[in-house]
Amino acid sequence: MNTATQLSDMTTAKVETAYESDGGPAKHRIGLVALDSDVATERDFQAMLPSDSVFYTSRIHCFNPITIENLKKLGPQVSAATELLIPGQRLDVIAYSCTSGTVALGYDEIARQVRSGGRPDIEVVTPINSALKAMEQLGVRKISLLTPYVDSVNQAMRAFIEKHGVKVLNMGSFCLDDDKEMAELTPDAIHRAAIEVCADEADALFISCTAIRAVEIIERTEQVLGKPVLSAIQTLFWQAIRATGYTAPIEGYGTLMRQ
């Protein structure tokens, strides 16, 4: 008897093992919508992620150069990207990982796009709104702002922050308009720029942009500056993981994550 005949005569036995469903892996679940060029957010989320938590990613196309006009083109893609995040399965929160994109479109539009993607009641978090929430949590009223952006994007960022009641004392930037170049900024360069930019009278430093690798330098930069350092990815993760119901401190990533 050949192998094909043997296989055709074989039937599948249903296992008799008793089982029950547990709702799938991980107690805490984050859905992440990232830019197609983003090489930092997933890496940094994974580094900070508690063992009983997980995140799932969908991506949208980024348009260079990074201008307010091009950032507005991101919005219409968010709904379709959300639909691809483990459809029909549980998510606790969805994080949209673009700081300047949220400034360009506004939080309400990002949230509307996410919720129209099959998650009508889910909590939506964005980097800039998470940063503002973190500033409120830490009692921060005055900041220095470090970005990789060109001035037109920086001015929109400053206006957005100040509209929400936080004074921007000064701004420093690498003045780049290509997100791939932003991603190639070394953490050491970001650390040195943070120290250069942060004003003595600032309550905290905010490092904007989820394209750059700022998370890994937060702890050592805080030690030099003696004040909280917030970054776009760090604050986004902080609000997202808290929205899942996770409450324990997370060590090694700055004052905020120990809250």
Residue with the larger pLDDT of the pair 179 and 8: 179
Q: What is the pLDDT of residue 90?
A: 95
For residues 58-78, average pLDDT = 96
Length of the chain: 259
Residue with the larger pLDDT of the pair 226 and 25: 226
The one-letter amino acid code at 104 reads A
Residues linked to residue 133 through DSSP beta bridges, in sequence order: none
Q: What is the pLDDT of residue 213?
A: 98
Question: How far is Cα 117 from Cα 120, in angstroms, rounded to an integer?
Answer: 8
pLDDT surpassing 80 at residue 20: yes
Q: What is the pLDDT of residue 5?
A: 56
Question: How far is Cα 36 from Cα 45, in angstroms, rounded to an integer?
Answer: 16
Alpha helix stretches (DSSP H) within 146-204: 151-163, 179-183, 187-197
CATH 3.40.50.1860 fits 129-230, yes or no: yes
CATH 3.40.50.20 fits 28-128+236-258, yes or no: no
Angle at 171 between CA 166 and CA 175, to 5 degrees: 135
Q: What is the pLDDT of residue 6?
A: 61
Backbone φ, ψ for residue 57 (5° rounding): -115, 140
The count of C-alpha atoms lying within 13 angstroms of the C-alpha of 13, restricted to the half-sphere facing its C-beta, is 3
Q: Read off the pLDDT of residues 92-137 as tens digits, 9 standing for 90 and up.
A: 999 999 999 999 999 999 999 999 999 999 999 999 999 999 999 9
**Reported confidence tier of residue 23, pLDDT bands at 50, 70, 90:** confident
Cβ-based neighbours of 7, under 8 Å, separated by 6 or more: none
Residues linked to residue 32 through DSSP beta bridges, in sequence order: 57, 95
Q: What is the pLDDT of residue 220?
A: 98
Q: What is the pLDDT of residue 203?
A: 98
Question: How far is Cα 236 from Cα 252, in angstroms, rounded to an integer?
Answer: 16
Q: What is the pLDDT of residue 147?
A: 98
The answer to whether the peptide bond before residue 50 is cis (omega within 30 degrees of 0) is no
Domains in the chain: boundaries: 28-128+236-258, 129-230
Q: What is the pLDDT of residue 236?
A: 98
Other residues' Cβ atoms within 10 Å of the Cβ of residue 34? 22
Question: How far is Cα 204 from Cα 245, in angstroms, rounded to an integer?
Answer: 26
Alpha helix stretches (DSSP H) within the chain: 3-8, 41-48, 68-71, 75-83, 99-105, 107-115, 127-138, 151-163, 179-183, 187-197, 218-225, 232-243
Q: What is the pLDDT of residue 3?
A: 56
For residues 6-31, average pLDDT = 88
Domains 28-128+236-258 and 129-230 share a fold: yes
pLDDT surpassing 80 at residue 183: yes
DSSP 245: T
Question: How far is Cα 248 from Cα 259, in angstroms, rounded to an integer?
Answer: 8
Cβ burial, residue 102 (10 Å; 0-12/13-18/19+): buried
Place of tokens 């940094």: 44
pLDDT surpassing 80 at residue 2: no
- How much of the chain, in percent, has pLDDT values that exceed 90? 93
